[in-house]
Chain A
Amino acid sequence: MTSTFLGLPKPVTYAPDGVGNLRGDESFPRAARSALKNSQLRRNVGIATATIREKRAAVVAEVDDWEQLRDAGAAIKADVMARLPELLEELEAAVTARGGVVHWARDATEANRIIVEIVRETGAREVVKVKSMVTQEIGLNEALEAAGIAPIETDLAELIVQLGHDKPSHILVPAIHRNRSEIREIFMREMPDVPADLTDDPRRLAMAARAHLRKKFLSAKVGISGANFAIAETGTLAVVESEGNGRMCLTLPDTLITVMGIEKLLPTWRDLEVFLQLLPRSSTGERMNPYTSMWTAVTPGDGPQAFHLLLLDNGRTAALSDEIGRAALHCIRCSACLNVCPIYERTGGNAYGSVYPGPIGAILSPQLTGMNGHRDPNSSLPFASTLCGACYSVCPVKIDIPSILVHLRARAVDHVRAQSTPSAELLSMKVVAWAMRSSRRFARAERLMRLGRLLGLRRGRITALPWPGSAWTTSRDLPIPPKETFREWWLRERGAPGSTEGDPHA
Chain B
Amino acid sequence: MRIALFATCLGDAMFPDVSRATVAVLERLGHTVVFPAGQTCCGQMHVNTGYLDEAAPLVRHHVETFEDALETCEVVVAPSGSCVGSVRHQHAMVARSNGTPELAERAERVAARTYELSELLVDVLGVTDVGAYYPHRVTYHPTCHSLRMLHVGDKPLRLLRAVRGLDLIELPAADSCCGFGGTFSVKNPDVSTAMLADKMTNVVSTRAEVCTAGDSSCLMHIGGGLSRLRTGVRAVHLAEILAATEGDA
Contacts and interface: CB of A to CB of B under 8 A. Distances in A.
Interface of A: 28-29, 32-33, 36, 42, 342-343, 346-347, 382-390, 392-393, 403, 406, 408-413, 425-426, 429-430, 432-433, 436-439, 442, 446, 449, 461, 463, 468, 471-472, 474-479, 481-482, 484-487, 489-491, 494, 496, 499-506
B51 A486 contact: no
Contacts of B189: 29, 471-472, 474-475
Contact of B38 (A479, A481, A501): A501
A471 B185 CA distance: 8
27 contacts: A36-B190, A342-B179, A343-B188, A347-B191, A385-B181, A387-B144, A389-B147, A390-B175, A406-B48, A410-B50, A410-B51, A410-B52, A429-B46, A429-B51, A429-B54, A432-B46, A439-B37, A463-B228, A476-B196, A478-B220, A481-B13, A484-B16, A486-B11, A486-B20, A490-B37, A501-B38, A502-B37
A504 B65 contact: yes
A461 to B, nearest CB: 6
A342 B202 CA distance: 15
A476 B16 contact: no
B61 A385 contact: no
Given A481-B13, A506-B38, A389 B225 contact: no
Most B-side CB within 10 Å, residue of A32, A477, A484, A506: A477
User: Which 5 A/B pairs are nearest by Cβ-Cβ distance?
Assistant: A503-B38, A386-B181, A409-B50, A476-B224, A389-B148
B16 A475 contact: no
Q: Provide the main secondary structure of the chain B interface.
A: helix
B148 A390 contact: yes
Interface in B48-80: 48-52, 54-55, 57-58, 61, 64-65, 68-69
B176 interface: yes
A389 B145 contact: yes
A486 B11 CA distance: 8
A468 B179 contact: no
Most A-side CB within 10 Å, residue of B50, B179, B189: B50
Given A406-B47, A484-B16, A439 B186 contact: no
A42 B224 CA distance: 24
B27 to A, nearest CB: 11
A484 B17 CA distance: 10
A468 B186 contact: yes
Given A36-B194, A429-B54, A505 B61 contact: yes
Nearest to B187: A383
Interface of B: 7, 9, 11-17, 19-20, 35-41, 43, 45-52, 54-55, 57-58, 61, 64-65, 68-69, 90, 93, 97, 144-145, 147-149, 175-177, 179-196, 220-221, 223-225, 227-228
Given A471-B187, A502-B36, 15 more contacts: A383-B187, A389-B148, A429-B49, A433-B54, A437-B58, A468-B186, A471-B186, A476-B193, A479-B224, A481-B13, A496-B35, A496-B37, A502-B65, A504-B38, A504-B61
Contact of A479 (B182, B194, B220): B220
A319 B41 CA distance: 33
B194 A346 contact: yes
A478 B144 CA distance: 21
A485 B13 contact: yes
A500 B37 contact: yes
Contact of A503 (B65, B144, B175): B65
A393 to B, nearest CB: 6
Nearest to B89: A403
A32 B144 contact: no
A479 B48 contact: no
Contacts of B181: 385-388
Q: Provide the main secondary structure of the chain A interface.
A: helix
Contacts of A347: 191
Given A33-B190, A481-B14, A388 B40 contact: no
B40 A389 contact: no
Given A36-B194, A406-B48, A471-B189, A437 B227 contact: no
Given A387-B48, A479-B220, A489 B16 contact: yes
Contacts, number: 211
A461 B225 CA distance: 12
A439 B38 contact: yes
Contact of B221 (A392, A412, A439, A476): A476
Nearest to A34: B190
Contacts of B221: 476
B37 A433 contact: no
B61 A436 contact: yes
A505 B189 CA distance: 36
A387 B54 CA distance: 20
A169 to B, nearest CB: 16
B3 to A, nearest CB: 14
Contacts of B15: 479, 482
A442 B43 CA distance: 13
A503 B50 contact: no
Given A389-B149, A433-B46, A475-B193, A486 B65 contact: no
Nearest to A46: B198
Contacts of A387: 48, 144-145, 181-182, 184
Contact of B184 (A385, A393, A474): A385
Given A347-B191, A502-B69, A475 B184 contact: no
Contact of B191 (A36, A504, A506): A36
Nearest to A28: B188
Contacts of A36: 190-191, 194
Contact of B49 (A29, A386, A409, A505): A409
Contact of B57 (A385, A433, A474): A433
B14 A437 contact: no
Given A386-B144, A479-B223, A503 B37 contact: yes
Contacts of A475: 189, 193, 196, 225, 228
A388 B58 contact: no
B64 A438 contact: no
A169 B139 CA distance: 35
Contacts of B180: 386
Contacts of B47: 406
A482 B14 contact: yes
Nearest to B185: A472
B195 A342 contact: yes
Nearest to B173: A50
A406 B38 contact: no
Contacts of B225: 475-477
B37 A486 contact: no
A500 B228 CA distance: 39
B68 A439 contact: no
Contacts of A490: 35, 37
